[in-house]
Amino acid sequence: MTSMYYDKDADLSVLQPKKIAVLGYGSQGHAHALNLSDSGMNVRVADRKGSKAWEQAKNDGLELGTVDEVSQWADVIMVLLPDQYQKEVYDSQIAPHLKPGDTLAFAHGFNIHFKQIVPPSEVNVMMIAPKGPGHLVRRTYQDGKGVPCLFAVHQDPSGETKALALAWARGIGGTRAGVIETTFKDETETDLFGEQAVLCGGSAELIKAGFETLVEAGYPPELAYFECLHEMKLIVDLYYEGGLSLMNYSVSDTAEYGGMTRGSRIITDETRAEMKKMLEDVQSGAFAREWIEENAQGQPRMQQLRAATRSHGIEEVGARLRPMMSWLNRPEEPREDEE
Ligand code: NAD
Ligand code: MG
């Protein structure tokens, strides 16, 4: 069993005297900054001047500056910028201000593990990665609870990096729920594999293939949408609350039997072999190189693939059906930073 750390294992007083910078006031950034500030820490935040996030941070009453200004001031710098911009911002606005004994922190291991960012050896490097989106990290904290986190130490010249990581996890509420120690390598590789094979890639392809099979067989696309996409949430909520067994318990016996006898015809030996190859691409750095190159080119393939998804039949049906669902309040437009 991996060991778990709780409030009693984390000492906030190691972080208390530090000047803390939270760079990026987005999903994670606003939650880390507000929770740490409410925990009595000395926090300043940075974002792009004039962005929505900038205005939000000002309205939330936090001390605010540019990445340059806040990095220069700080001893502990948490980088909560989008992963693909971190290297550029690090090179131009963070690295010039790093002093021996400073601490650089991340919520995802990609840029350190794949050596996009190589901090000086006299700087501590740590990760605190909540296993949930920022709004949940903020809301649970305000409710006196927390979201479980992973933490890791990449380099520790000062000898206090683990204590700082645990203190950070406590300051954002994570140790109330429990935090697990990992490495940058394991966090990065499992995260990339999970999103590719299961969460984003695997589930989207499964939904599309099911929808297309029904529509090609002549069934109304509306029915295909409900069956293959809409109801996915009901099933996933059951997994989330009680695992595979709760799902089996909650659906009809017919669904349970049909699923258990047929599911393995979808995820075949061939699929499993492909999963292993995807994992190898993650481990070897081949995926990371491809993604870094794609960004360097201005994301041409990404734009094409996004456009193809938007024009898929299931998106057209969904856009017509979702207004029937009064309980949905999610705007149809992509968010500011998604384009
Ligand atoms: P986000 O897109 O929600 O927020 C990023 C913020 O950075 C935005 O406010 C944006 O305005 C700002 N920004 C972008 N470019 C900037 C620049 N050049 N200078 C200053 N500010 C700039 O990002 P996020 O989802 O909070 O992700 C941040 C980090 O947290 C990533 O490393 C991500 O992998 C990690 N993470 C995210 C989640 C999640 O659920 N969202 C969970 C765990 C870890
Ligand atoms: Mg993830």
Supply the pLDDT for residue 2.
Answer: 82
Q: Which of 22, 25, 28 to mutate to test the pocket of ligand 1 (most atoms within 8 A of CB)?
A: 28
Q: Tell me whether strands 149-155 and 179-181 are parallel, antiparallel or unpaired.
A: parallel
130 C-alpha to ligand 1 centroid (Å): 13
107 C-alpha to ligand 2 centroid (Å): 10
278 C-alpha to ligand 1 centroid (Å): 25
Q: For residues 166 and 179, what is the distance between their CA atoms, to the nearest angstrom? A: 8
Residues of the chain with pLDDT under 50: 333-339
88 C-alpha to ligand 1 centroid (Å): 14
Cβ proximity of 28 and 49 under 8 Å:
no
Q: Which of 25, 80, 138 to mutate to test the pocket of ligand 1 (most atoms within 8 A of CB)?
A: 80
83 C-alpha to ligand 2 centroid (Å): 12
DSSP classification of residue 335: P
What residue spans of the chain are helical by DSSP H?
27-38, 52-59, 67-73, 86-89, 110-113, 134-142, 161-171, 174-177, 184-193, 201-216, 221-225, 232-250, 253-266, 269-284, 286-296, 300-310, 313-321
Pocket of ligand 1 (CB under 6 A): 24-29, 46-48, 51, 53, 67, 80-83, 85, 89, 107-108, 129-130, 133-134, 337
Catalytic residue among 30, 108, 113, 154: 108
Question: Which amino acid residue places its CA nearest to atom 28 of ligand 1?
Answer: 80
Question: Which amino acid residue places its CA nearest to atom 44 of ligand 1?
Answer: 107
Q: For residues 34 and 61, what is the distance between their CA atoms, to the nearest angstrom? A: 10
Q: Which atom of ligand 1 is nearest to the CA of 28?
A: 26
> Which one of the ligands is nearest to 107 CA?
1
> Which one of the ligands is nearest to 110 CA?
1
What residue spans of 74-199 are helical by DSSP H?
86-89, 110-113, 134-142, 161-171, 174-177, 184-193
Q: For residues 85 and 117, what is the distance between their CA atoms, to the nearest angstrom? A: 11
DSSP classification of residue 339: -
Catalytic annotation on 154? Answer: no
Q: Which of 23, 25, 27 to mutate to test the pocket of ligand 1 (most atoms within 8 A of CB)?
A: 27
